């Protein structure tokens, strides 16, 4: 038995080398395709945000902002990083909660702001920015209210989604 390629006879050795090469290529393709899909699929799949618990609702006193620190996990494809962050949680009673982002901070030039108990407002020491308990600008150069963080409450726990809500 003889084989031909483009009208020329092909030796048995050559034919076997074509056969082995073709079978090897097919095996590599069968093995590699799922592996490539496995490593790339996190980038294609839309996953729900990682929720970060920051406090229990019962721990936040009414009308007295509470500063909390937390570790936020951020998903980027198959890679998860952790950032240390802070937030002010306001409980105005009747399930009316607000979480203000502390990083970035003041909406003017990012200075850290704090709650002044005596004046009953958030103060920014850098340029005299003042915000009420709802985050609205009362005085100073800040161009917009304090940034808020999207959250949900499950079993009394306040969970951040990581989304920042900016006004103005
Ligand atoms: S940085 Fe806060 S008022 Fe300027």
Q: pLDDT tier at 136 (50, 70, 90 boundaries)? A: very high
Distance 161 CA to ligand 1 centre (A): 26
pTM: 0.71
Q: Can you read off the two tokens belonging to residue 47?
A: 């996953």
Distance 165 CA to ligand 1 centre (A): 19
Distance 57 CA to ligand 1 centre (A): 29
Average pLDDT over residues 110-127: 96
Closest ligand 1 atom to 124 CA: 2
The CB density around residue 97, as the number of other CB atoms within 10 Å, is 16
Sort residue 149 into left (φ over 0), alpha (ψ -120 to 50) or beta. Answer: beta
On the question of pLDDT at 115 being above 90, the answer is yes
Cis before 164 (ω within 30): no
pLDDT of residue 2: 64
Closest ligand 1 atom to 113 CA: 2
Q: pLDDT tier at 103 (50, 70, 90 boundaries)? A: confident
**Distance (Å, rounded) from C-alpha 101 to C-alpha 115?**
13
**Distance (Å, rounded) from C-alpha 71 to C-alpha 84?**
5
**Distance (Å, rounded) from C-alpha 90 to C-alpha 64?**
7
Q: For the ranges 12-21, 86-95, 132-141, 146-155, which has the lowest average pLDDT?
A: 12-21
């Amino acid at each position: 038995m003889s084989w031909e390629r483009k009208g020329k006879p092909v030796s048995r050795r050559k034919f076997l080398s074509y056969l082995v090469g073709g079978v090897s290529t097919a095996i590599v393709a069968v093995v590699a395709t799922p592996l490539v899909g496995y490593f790339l699929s996190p980038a294609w799949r839309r996953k729900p945000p990682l929720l970060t618990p920051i406090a229990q609702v019962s721990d936040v006193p009414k009308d007295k902002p509470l500063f909390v620190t937390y570790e936020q996990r951020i998903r980027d494809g198959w890679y998860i990083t952790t950032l240390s962050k802070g937030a002010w949680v306001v409980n105005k009673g009747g399930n009316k909660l607000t979480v203000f982002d502390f990083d970035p901070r003041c909406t003017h030039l990012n200075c850290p702001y704090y709650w002044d108990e005596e004046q009953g407002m958030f103060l920014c020491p850098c340029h005299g920015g003042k915000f009420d308990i709802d985050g609205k600008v009362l005085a100073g150069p800040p161009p917009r209210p304090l940034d808020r963080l999207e959250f949900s409450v499950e079993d009394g726990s306040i969970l951040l989604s990581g989304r920042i809500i900016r006004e103005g």
